[in-house]
Structure 1
């Protein structure tokens, strides 16, 4: 992140790519709870942006709201692009931090998380390429994991429970 700009200087209007890069750096540097706070942080950097622009930027860079320790929520950017595979230690960390329960039925596994965290866990699971997992559907605090029918939910639920340390 650049050094804070002199407020007396003329504000800067960055191009979309440059602004989105700065937005990502700001989110990584400190917890950002809402779009108004992000507009203020950009202004402190001398960058002019409206709340509507910030909203589009957050969507474009794939930022998501996650719960942080203490129950507050903040923006985060998934660590890996969709095309890349997440390493198993990343999946183990995500499961250890966010998964609170794993159940199964037939070829389905239900994974429960704290409110607002299911999408983070589902994204990590999707990107990890876990064998026998066909796909996921995430709600607010629940993930439905669809498993290959030949394997069954019990086996995959056991592996996911182990990842979570349950």
Structure 2
């Protein structure tokens, strides 16, 4: 079975079933006639953007389309301690070990006033598309960290 067909079946399975973890996903795929190694499944899930999300019934695997950002926004918002800037860049301070996750969250945004980020353990350097947009970048960051 080729990768595209396998990833399509993973998406379909996640849309049709409440899947708590990759072990459950492997079982459901096997029931559908698809045998996949855990390492291959893990790579596929990463490539198609599957995330583990906490809901009322506990954790489950979800596709990005099902998770428009509110869940992740709430998590990222909790990880950010402060936002500061000068006339050229914005610095986001995070909880220890969360700089890369926060940077990745902003790097994946579409139509963003952010050109890119550089992450350390607990600090994210945010580079605006234009230095004249520093205040808009700060507002954009704050809006995307709110939980509503």
Tell me which interval the TM-score lies in, with the shorter structure as reference length: 0.5 to 0.7
Specify every segment of 5 or more residues in structure 1 that has no aligned partner in the other structure, as ranges.
1-13, 80-89
Deviations 1:120-155 (A, max 9, x none): 632442xx2223x22134679875422256236444
- More divergent stretch after superposition (49-58 vs 37-46): 49-58
Q: 1:44-63 residue pairs with structure 2 within 5 A?
A: 44-59=31-46, 61-63=47-49
Structure with greater proportional helix content: 2
Is 2:102 aligned against 1:121? no
Q: What is the TM-score normalised by the length of structure 2?
A: 0.61
Q: Distance in 1 between matches of 2:93 and 2:71?
A: 12
Max Rg structure: 1
Q: Distance in 2 between matches of 1:94 and 1:143?
A: 21
Structure with greater proportional strand content: 2
Specify every segment of 5 or more residues in structure 2 that has no aligned partner in the other structure, as ranges.
none
- The structural deviation recorded for 1:34 is 3.2
Secondary structure of the residue aligned to 1:48 is: coil
Q: How many equivalent residue pairs?
A: 137
Q: What is the TM-score normalised by the length of structure 1?
A: 0.56
Q: 1:20-59 residue pairs with structure 2 within 5 A?
A: 20-59=7-46
Secondary structure of the residue aligned to 1:134 is: strand
Q: Distance in 1 between matches of 2:118 and 2:21?
A: 26
Does the Cα contact within 8 Å between 2:51 and 2:64 map onto a contact in 1?
A: no
Q: Distance in 1 between matches of 2:135 and 2:115?
A: 15
The RMSD of aligned alpha carbons is 4.0
